[in-house]
Structure 1
Amino acid sequence: MSPLKRKIRAGLLVAPLLALSAMAVGVEGAAAQPPEAAPTPAHATATTPASSAAPTAAAGGRGWTAGWIASPQRASAGFEPNWSEEGFSQHSVRQVVRMTAGGSALRVRLSNLYGTSPLRLTGATVARAGDGASIRPGSLRHLTFGRTRSTLVPAHGQAASDPVPLQVEPMESLTVTLYFAGTTGPATFHSQAYATSYRAAGDHRDDQGGAAFTRTTHSWYYLTGVDVIGGAGGRGAVVAFGDSITDGFGSTNDAGNRYPDELAELLAAAGDPRPVLNAGIGGNMVLNDSAWYGERSTARFRRDVLDQPGASTVIVLEGVNDIGFSESDTPTYKPNPVVSAREMIDGHRRLIREAHARGLKVIGATLLPFKGSDHWGEHAAAVSDELNRWIRTSGEYDAVADLDRAMAAPSDPDLLDPAYDSGDKLHPNDAGYRAMSQAVATALRLSE
């Protein structure tokens, strides 16, 4: 039984059935698939340079809403073995994503942001996910880009597929299978997926079963967004922006227990279904770039939040790594300068200004307690207290999710509650992420 079905049976989720409207692109299964064609040239409308905004409703049709996203990272060794540095050569890569918005059609977004040469995609498919690497019968659709199945994504660029008529329910999982007949080089990816991705030698994009997909990792490759259109009306998307605690470190793989997942379920159960998009990157910082942990939040905020189709609210949970990396000599934590509370506050203020300038509400989340972790020390304790006090009392955020207090141990306000601790005194477990989602849902209601 899937984690979602277990939650439904336990009474933890009541997912509403959305009335999915018909689209001009046709009803499910009606569109004929064009033949294989030469890759779309780099100047074609299917691609945009990295400096441009991500595909939006204005660029690709009216009413697009992001239903799932992942923030891109440059290839690196990551937290566990992955395929980003070696890339792919005559491989099919099947990836599973969990949607938080429904619709009658979708499009898939791919990123070659950190590629130094064009990415040649031979072809791709999308389908409803089955068990493991399998797909549900009758649901497979070929993706096209400018009405051809192959495309060329420019170095540092991105691509959005043509609309695909496939009805999608909120909380439903989809698979996207990419086939590379050539050699890609290092892959733009998202390191901490906490979902299993699969690889097979040769062209297996049409396979219904998963037997050929014998290799696995817990990262996503090139895949950065799935947008939907034609769903029931509702309020805009909520973007959860942050580091590994937003990304879901410490949650159970393939269970959908990251706090943004739990928030999406909580809102749906309360009769207020909304897309909740996870823009977390493990190790991310507000003030400094990292080869391992992505561009600083102030540099990636436009791409990963403001340009997401349908975004209306952002939850900011950032800063523990800026503060805590200086307390450790871990090589991947560098650069790790000692930062002040004033510098951290100025970084948060920049995010607030940019969000408000684009008409988004901004919820500030206080940093969770982290005493006893490898991020803890006298300086880190003082700066986190001052930053949290500013988030809590300044009034500059539209609302505050006080995770510092909600997640603290009853016996020590600086310590993560042992009932919520994944084991490192820094990252929550599944129960902790569920508790976080409840505090964030309360703040979300107060912001509106």
Structure 2
Amino acid sequence: MRLRLIMLGMALCASAATAAPREQPARWVGAWGYAVSPNPPGQLPPTPIALTAGPLVPLAAPPAASPPPAPIPKLDNPGGLPVDGSSAELANATIRQIVRVSAAGNAIRLRLSNESGVEPLSLGAVHVGLAEPDGSVQPGSDHVVTFGGHNGVMIPAGAPLLSDPIALPVKALDRLAISLHVPDRLIVRGARSLFHYVAGEAGDSTGAAQLPNARLARAPGLVTGVEVAATQPTNVIVTLGDSITEGSQSTANAFRGWPDRLAERLAARPGKTRWAVVNAGIGGNRLLRYGSGPNALARFDRDVLSVPGVKVLILLEGINDIGRGYTTKGSVEPATAEALQAAQRQIIERAHEHGIRVIGATLTPYKGATYWAEPGEAVRQALNGWIRTSGAYDGVIDFAPVVADKSDPLTFDRAYNDTDHLHPNDAGYRAMGDAIDLNMVTGE
């Protein structure tokens, strides 16, 4: 009997050795990203913001003392659709989010987020396909997105969720149309809004090539990441920062921020190893305090370390600490150069622990912005000098002189800023993206 058991065991081992090798799991890498901004810890979210599945219903008129609403930003709208710039609330509606991936792959998966929600978020159906310029889906590219094999899903409050793999091959710089049906009321609290295509008819239109009676409207970014199963070795660069990294004041839905330009240049660059770019900018973000999202130190693990394939971090952060700390009315929440340097050193050390190279970027000019003040300018100059000369970083991108007025380096060149003396326009972002030394950033 003992001999028979030994022979049986040997036969099983031989059978296992000759069986087909187990399929290796896909190597997922981040190819697009959007950082959400949950409410400060311990604080209740503000009143929900509003949009129905049919005509958009504006919020109640603000008090007379309130400032006028911000103007609708420049918007890529080749179809000439109606546009509503007010924040909105969704109910039994289909929204379509347009993203652009920065790496090629033979499959994708989506990262959805309810991290700003205080209640579970139900999605009745999700579809994804290659996007046409007008926001419609290219024929033959539509795919149903599943979650554990199911078409619908409930995302717990405060949580993200990964989809099942989707057999949709993509190339670098392909645009995707991701359509989501929200069967219930979507309560939008504390989340920044993007411009999405919104169906003008109630119900599930996720499978439609062209959304019925569509309009462009502000709505929350429910998809916060796209990962690809890379077809060749691919590394990822994460850009961590505030509105200047997010791309504020660039043409919305046109992908014209400086991280977008960096992705375009890397996609056109030959090489065995490819590089993707994931944007983790949040408008109003700070290094040391809460400001339109957790401070950079608090969100570092979620927005940088959790991105699969990340090898390089570009950090452009601190102007909001300075601007809000030293206003024309005096010091409110002072942020010294030493404190900002210490925060950046923390990010460098934490990234190095995970084998991530860190590139520091100098803060761009802001004289003329509403929160500019001489004491704050002195801090910016000191921080920029430290970034350039300390040796703390693995490399430096000196953005400041790229967009500065040559006759007054404390201000933006008018060709690169035509609004608020703080945020670049499309030309300014392009100049920033073109100024990056690709070999220095990639370490090649």
1:4-47 per-residue CA deviation (whole Å, 9 max, x = no partner) reads xxxxxxxxxxxxxxxxxxxx99xxxxxxxxxxxxxxxxxxxxxx
| Corresponding residue SS for 2:436 | helix
CA 1:447 to 1:415, structure 2 compared with 1: closer, same or farther past 3 Å? farther
Normalized against structure 1, the TM-score is what? 0.79
Structure 2 counterpart of 1:67, from 22, 27, 31? 31
CA 1:168 to 1:84, structure 2 compared with 1: closer, same or farther past 3 Å? farther
2:361–2:396 Cα contact (<8 Å) kept:
yes
State the shift of 1:277 in Å: 1.1
2:197–2:214 Cα contact (<8 Å) kept:
no
Q: Match for residue 310 of structure 2?
A: 311
| Corresponding residue SS for 1:67 | strand
| Corresponding residue SS for 2:342 | helix
1:245–1:282 Cα contact (<8 Å) kept:
yes
1:121–1:178 Cα contact (<8 Å) kept:
yes
1:206 paired to 2:219: no
Equivalent-residue separation in structure 2 for 1:79 and 1:347 (angstroms): 32
Structure 2 counterpart of 1:175, from 174, 177, 194? 177
Equivalent-residue separation in structure 1 for 2:92 and 2:319 (angstroms): 41
CA 1:313 to 1:252, structure 2 compared with 1: closer, same or farther past 3 Å? same
Structure 1 counterpart of 2:93, from 87, 91, 94? 91
Equivalent-residue separation in structure 1 for 2:293 and 2:364 (angstroms): 21
Structure 2 counterpart of 1:427, from 413, 423, 427? 423
Aligned-residue CA RMSD in angstroms? Answer: 2.6
Letter in 2 for 1:256: F
Letter in 1 for 2:143: R
State the shift of 1:85 in Å: 7.3
Q: Percent identity?
A: 37
| Corresponding residue SS for 1:274 | strand
1:245 paired to 2:247: no
Residue correspondence of structure 1 range 357-372 to structure 2 within 5 A: 357-372=353-368
1:411 paired to 2:375: no
Residue correspondence of structure 1 range 44-63 to structure 2 within 5 A: 61-63=25-27
Equivalent-residue separation in structure 2 for 1:439 and 1:387 (angstroms): 20
Residue correspondence of structure 1 range 70-81 to structure 2 within 5 A: 70-74=34-38
Letter in 1 for 2:240: F
Q: Match for residue 278 of structure 1?
A: 279
CA 1:312 to 1:304, structure 2 compared with 1: closer, same or farther past 3 Å? same
| Corresponding residue SS for 2:127 | strand
Matched pairs, number: 381
State the shift of 1:92 in Å: 0.8
State the shift of 1:445 in Å: 4.1
Structure 2 counterpart of 1:152, from 132, 151, 154? 154
Equivalent-residue separation in structure 2 for 1:251 and 1:102 (angstroms): 25
1:421–1:427 Cα contact (<8 Å) kept:
yes
State the shift of 1:123 in Å: 1.2
Equivalent-residue separation in structure 1 for 2:415 and 2:174 (angstroms): 29
1:89–1:183 Cα contact (<8 Å) kept:
yes
Q: Which runs of 5+ in 1 are unaligned?
A: 1-23, 26-56
Equivalent-residue separation in structure 2 for 1:412 and 1:86 (angstroms): 41
Q: Match for residue 225 of structure 1?
A: 225
2:122–2:155 Cα contact (<8 Å) kept:
yes
Q: Match for residue 105 of structure 2?
A: 103
2:246–2:283 Cα contact (<8 Å) kept:
yes
1:72–1:224 Cα contact (<8 Å) kept:
yes
Equivalent-residue separation in structure 1 for 2:126 and 2:332 (angstroms): 40
Equivalent-residue separation in structure 2 for 1:305 and 1:325 (angstroms): 25
1:407–1:435 Cα contact (<8 Å) kept:
yes
Equivalent-residue separation in structure 2 for 1:155 and 1:129 (angstroms): 30
1:187–1:222 Cα contact (<8 Å) kept:
no
| Corresponding residue SS for 1:352 | helix
State the shift of 1:271 in Å: 2.1
Q: Match for residue 324 of structure 1?
A: 323
| Corresponding residue SS for 2:111 | strand
| Corresponding residue SS for 1:65 | strand
1:401–1:443 Cα contact (<8 Å) kept:
no
State the shift of 1:413 in Å: 1.9
1:188–1:222 Cα contact (<8 Å) kept:
no
Q: Match for residue 28 of structure 1?
A: none
Q: Match for residue 122 of structure 1?
A: 124
Structure 2 counterpart of 1:339, from 325, 335, 342? 335
Q: Match for residue 18 of structure 1?
A: none
State the shift of 1:220 in Å: 4.3
Equivalent-residue separation in structure 1 for 2:197 and 2:189 (angstroms): 14
1:204–1:212 Cα contact (<8 Å) kept:
no
Structure 2 counterpart of 1:396, from 379, 386, 392? 392
Letter in 2 for 1:338: P
1:84–1:187 Cα contact (<8 Å) kept:
no
Q: Match for residue 166 of structure 2?
A: 164
CA 1:211 to 1:163, structure 2 compared with 1: closer, same or farther past 3 Å? same
Return 221-230 or 362-371, whichever deviates more: 221-230
Equivalent-residue separation in structure 1 for 2:309 and 2:103 (angstroms): 11
Q: Match for residue 379 of structure 2?
A: 383
Equivalent-residue separation in structure 2 for 1:412 and 1:301 (angstroms): 35
CA 1:250 to 1:309, structure 2 compared with 1: closer, same or farther past 3 Å? same
Equivalent-residue separation in structure 2 for 1:185 and 1:278 (angstroms): 25
1:133–1:198 Cα contact (<8 Å) kept:
no
State the shift of 1:169 in Å: 1.0
Equivalent-residue separation in structure 1 for 2:289 and 2:219 (angstroms): 23
1:197–1:219 Cα contact (<8 Å) kept:
no
State the shift of 1:427 in Å: 1.1
Q: Which runs of 5+ in 2 are unaligned?
A: 1-21, 39-44, 50-68, 73-83
1:108–1:225 Cα contact (<8 Å) kept:
yes
Equivalent-residue separation in structure 2 for 1:156 and 1:329 (angstroms): 37
Letter in 2 for 1:212: N
